[in-house]
Structure 1
Amino acid sequence: MSQPAKTSRNAAAEPAETTAGARAAAQRLKMRRELAAAAMELFASKGYEATTVDEIAATAGVARRTFFRHFRSKEEAIFPDHDDTLIRAEAVLNAAPAHEHPLDTVCRGIKEVMKMYAASPAVSVERYRLTREVPTLREREIASVARYERLFTRYLLAHFDEHDHHDGNDDPLLAEVAASAVVTAHNHVLRRWLRAGGEGDVEAQLDHAFAIVRKTFGTGIGAGRTLDGGAVSVAPAASATAQGEVLVTVARTDAPLDEVMRTIEEALKNK
């Protein structure tokens, strides 16, 4: 009789703990953003080299030790959201439906990065200006981008046997190249948007760039792979067979439309 009561208390405690954790995370992010805003204000007015951590902390209205609880250096303070964005991107990968092509999942994951920049266009544009002018900040940004690329590469490689390098299996190579291509496409669109002052439909531009990546890599990576991790028989993106007066076409859901149409045209020619 006592066990159900104990279970009930634990069940009641879990939501409270979850709420407390979420509140603490929100407060942490709020402070990081305030410190970042103070840093950017000082970098813009005094210059990066002339700005000290003590000045950043004072401008944000906190003690020096508070600054170092959130950032290890003043250049790190310019990018307060990358850690949380990386977590959100990883959550997208972890929650991906089994039927979704892994390349599509990665494209959805990196959209979390674009959302971070698009949430505060003016801040993002100013940060871009600073990173262009200060080599140390630019190196910090490059390091942050590399973390996303490693995350997406690991995800794609997890769908394939990276040690399986027999002839005819290009999945490991395609996984690494595709991950780099997704990140490069994202960064290309992001830079163009930032140079335009944060104006324009950046999501539409990103979708267009991803469509190009999918067209280039989507028909090869993981072709024919079974969902249960079994043996793979590489299948074409689309196939068509003429049977009397009927043309039967079979295509993967990620196959580009132009390839499907080309397959149909070839089948009609050979009919």
Structure 2
Amino acid sequence: MAQPVKSVRPQVSHQRLKVRRQLAAAAMELFVSKGYEATTVDEIAATAGVARRTFFRHFRSKEEAIFPDHDDTLERAKAVLDAAPAHENPIDTVCRGIKEVMKMYAASPAVSVQRYRLTREVPALREREIASVARYERLFTSYLLGQFDENSHNGDEPLLAEVAAASVVTAHNHVLRRWLRRDGEGDVEAELDHAFAIVRRTFASLPAIAATAPPPAAFASAKGEVLVTVARTDAPLSEVMRTIEQALTDRA
């Protein structure tokens, strides 16, 4: 009897990331010791113990080589969006998504700090970093745009989604840069939560975005003795009050 074929995708994915990280470590070592311009792809491959063709199976250029985890991190961020609870505010969802990026950097603080210093010194690496940031912004913009009701803002939905997504990414990067400048020391998670709270206060009240959350509800007892109100903590006070007034009117 034929045996079922076992999936090897997890092992393949793990091996792929392992090789990418080896190449990234080799590239960083050479960039620091020889300089970016003087380092060749052949030298990176040789230092990592792989063939030149293996290098190009993983990276298109040497500047791409010191960012080995962004592809996988982008997929994890997308998975957060795809699995978001039905009634979660989309701004909260995007904030959880971008936290996958911070986890990536925080997993290896020393490497992250060294990479940050290199990107400050080498324009080509800085451009690659900017391109990576743009990928996250496009992902989050697309997600937020999908949360708007059709024509909810007279055609301004693309602008609002892009601005909100960029604000979340900017808040994240602001905290990340400060943490890297401190050599990866400090409570970066608490700082990130504080930054996200500012973004939420700014954007969470957008009617079209907040519409995914259940509206406030008020229930009055049959004898009119008890009134129970259920509302999200970020629901506008005026909306909560209108709900209460309507419930009292219905019971009058």
TM-score range, shorter chain: 0.7 to 0.9
In 2: Cα distance, 1:27 partner to 1:196 partner: 33
Deviations 1:120-178 (A, max 9, x none): 00000000000000000000000000000000000000111465543xx8654432211
Mapping 1:115-264, distance limit 5 Å: 115-161=103-149, 165-166=153-154, 171-222=157-208, 225=211, 251-255=231-235, 260=237
Given that 2:90 and 2:209 are in contact with CA atoms closer than 8 Å, whether structure 1 keeps it comes out as no
Change (3 A) 1:93 1:47: same
Change (3 A) 1:162 1:71: farther
TM-score (norm 2): 0.84
In 2: Cα distance, 1:226 partner to 1:63 partner: 51
In 2: Cα distance, 1:71 partner to 1:214 partner: 37
Task: Compute the displacement of 1:224 (Å).
Answer: 5.7
Unaligned stretches of 5+ residues in structure 1? 229-234
Structure 1 SS opposite 2:60:
coil
In 1: Cα distance, 2:66 partner to 2:142 partner: 27
Matched to 2:201, the amino acid is K
Structure 1 SS opposite 2:111:
helix
Among 36, 52, 56, which residue is 2:40 paired with?
Answer: 52
Deviations 1:57-102 (A, max 9, x none): 1111111111111111000001000000000000110011111111
Change (3 A) 1:75 1:165: same
Aligned length, in residue pairs: 236
Q: CA RMSD in A?
A: 3.0
Task: Compute the displacement of 1:222 (Å).
Answer: 2.5
Task: Compute the displacement of 1:249 (Å).
Answer: 6.1
In 2: Cα distance, 1:184 partner to 1:238 partner: 35
What's the % identity of the aligned pairs? Answer: 76
Report what 1:61 is aligned to: 49
Task: Compute the displacement of 1:187 (Å).
Answer: 0.3
Task: Compute the displacement of 1:220 (Å).
Answer: 1.6
TM-score (norm 1): 0.78
Given that 1:174 and 1:217 are in contact with CA atoms closer than 8 Å, whether structure 2 keeps it comes out as no
Structure 2 SS opposite 1:222:
helix
Matched to 1:184, the amino acid is T
Change (3 A) 1:135 1:183: same
Given that 1:76 and 1:140 are in contact with CA atoms closer than 8 Å, whether structure 2 keeps it comes out as yes
Task: Compute the displacement of 1:254 (Å).
Answer: 3.0
Structure 2 SS opposite 1:51:
coil
More deviation in 175-184 or 186-195? 175-184
